[in-house]
Amino acid sequence: MHDYHIAVVPGDGIGQEVTPEGVRLLDLGGELTGSYKCHYEYFPWGCEYYLKSGRMMPDDGLTLLQRFDAIYFGAVGFPTVPDHVSLRGLRLPICQGFEQYACVRPSLLLPGIQSPLAGKRAGDIDFVVVRENTEGEYSGSGGRAHRGLPLEVATETSVFTRSGVERVIRYAYNLARKRRKRLVNATKSNAQQYAMTLWDEVFDAAGLDFPEVKTERVLIDALAARFVLKPESLDVVVGSNLFGDILTDLGAAVCGSMGLAPSGNINPERQYPSMFEPVHGSAPDICGKGVANPIAMIWCGAMMLDFLGEQSAADLILSAIKACTASGETLTPDLGGRAGTGQVTEAIVAEARRQAK
Ligand code: IPM
Ligand code: MG
């Protein structure tokens, strides 16, 4: 029996609504497999905390999180606080401070879910985007001068380091090796002649160590079109922070809903805790209505368990999610259903119990 210490940060908006649902499944996975128990500590950080304290998290936030096995994170951002303040105050310092350099975002078309793309069936879309998660366009390097004057200038400098590029690209190769052995390099080296040529060179050089992985270099604009026109041709895609951000919303959309897309911010060396959070964000437009789709958050829990080594529980939870979407009886409005958040969780819980028998 393993004990896991999990830091839970529900955060803002629907993060507050979906996090308890995910925790239910984490507990259930432990109960049904008898393999582990999760111990939680809750951190009430986010925009409300900011309005009271002037900070998104305390100054020693990273020190507080450091000793946990993993972080289970809801969402960050609310209209009460400018987005760049909330993001820079909470999600980014954790990803950067804990070297969670591989942001892993699966796009899998679940059974029973209607893709907006015609003729796609369950499993036709099954790829993973590995997004660089600590530098690139999100490095925070730049500034504004002469504010408000006609000569105002703003710079936002992308920063790409050889070591930063190499570590995420190698992670992606390793992942491709475990999957269908195809890796796409999302690039824009035709226009971005410094950073993206470095990126391409590192990608090609690392490939020498993975001869069994078939690679392609695809420009980001053409790749966006391919996500829509031929998603079944994709296995693993590796891209910079911003490219990966954009591609993964597209990946979620072609799989039927933002409410289904999980993500893991991974520190592969396990020197620091990794963080698991849905792609969807805080969704202020539907928050408080009890209709947020809990599936992405529950699936994040499965990813977290998988990362912790609890394969059986992870498989059981994903399989229960699939059974729930396949039956189509209990779905939230983003999927055309009329169920509330808690009802979907109930359906997944019941299915997990049934399958575990
Ligand atoms: C994501 C989100 C964030 C990002 C937002 C909230 C800043 O879109 O996790 O994909 O761009 O990183
Ligand atoms: Mg995004």
**DSSP code per residue over 296-350:** HHHHHHHHHHHHHT-HHHHHHHHHHHHHHHHH-SS--GGGT----HHHHHHHHHH
Check residue 258 and give its pLDDT.
95
| Residue 236 DSSP class | E
Check residue 21 and give its pLDDT.
98
Check residue 107 and give its pLDDT.
98
Check residue 195 and give its pLDDT.
97
Check residue 97 and give its pLDDT.
97
CA–centroid distance for 122 within its chain: 21
Cα 211 to middle of ligand 1, angstroms: 33
What number does CATH give the domain 1-106+262-357? 3.40.718.10
Please report where in the chains the tokens 């591989």 appear, as a residue. Answer: 102
Instruction: Map residue 103 onto helix, strand or coil.
Output: strand
Contacts of 44 (CB under 8 A, 6+ apart): 10
| Residue 148 DSSP class | T
User: Residue 297's closest CA among 110, 21, 76?
Assistant: 21
Q: What backbone torsions phi and psi does residue 271 show, to the nearest 5 degrees?
A: -80, -30
For Cα atoms 125, 319, 324, give the angle at the middle one, nearest 5 degrees: 85
In whole angstroms, give the CA distance from residue 183 to residue 167.
Answer: 15
Question: Taking a C-beta distance cutoff of 8 angstroms, is the pair 120, 109 a contact?
Answer: yes
Q: Within the chain, which residues score under 70 in pLDDT?
A: none
- Residue boundaries of the structural domains of the chain: 1-106+262-357, 126-254
User: Residue 241's closest CA among 54, 77, 102, 59?
Assistant: 102
- CATH fold, domain 126-254, is Isopropylmalate Dehydrogenase (3.40.718)
Check residue 137 and give its pLDDT.
97
- Ligand 1 atom nearest the C-alpha of 103 is 9
Check residue 64 and give its pLDDT.
98
Instruction: Map residue 263 onto helix, strand or coil.
Output: coil
Q: What is the pLDDT of residues 130-165, one digit of tens each?
A: 999 999 999 999 999 999 999 999 999 999 999 999
User: Residue 265's closest CA among 43, 70, 85, 109?
Assistant: 70
The answer to whether 1-106+262-357 and 126-254 have equal CATH topology is yes
Check residue 232 and give its pLDDT.
98
Question: Taking a C-beta distance cutoff of 8 angstroms, is the pair 280, 75 a contact?
Answer: yes
Q: Answer positive or negative: Cα dihedral of 346, 29, 33, 104.
A: positive
Q: CB of 245 closer than 6 A to ligand 1?
A: yes
Residue of the nearest CA to atom 10 in ligand 1? 245
| Residue 260 DSSP class | G
Would you state the structure tokens that stand for residue 42, as one six-digit string?
Answer: 């809750």
- Ligand 1 atom nearest the C-alpha of 138 is 12
Burial class (CB in 10 A: 0-12, 13-18, 19+), 30: buried
Q: What is the pLDDT of residues 57-114, one digit of tens each?
A: 999 999 999 999 999 999 999 999 999 999 999 999 999 999 999 999 999 999 999 9
Burial class (CB in 10 A: 0-12, 13-18, 19+), 150: exposed
Mutate to test the pocket of ligand 1, among 76, 91, 243, 246 (most ligand atoms within 8 A of CB): 91
CA–centroid distance for 334 within its chain: 19
Would you state the structure tokens that stand for residue 67, as one six-digit string?
Answer: 């000793």
Cα 212 to middle of ligand 1, angstroms: 33
Cα 340 to middle of ligand 2, angstroms: 24
Instruction: Map residue 175 onto helix, strand or coil.
Output: helix
Q: CB of 89 closer than 6 A to ligand 1?
A: no
When computed from its CA atoms, the radius of gyration of the chain, rounded to whole angstroms, is 20
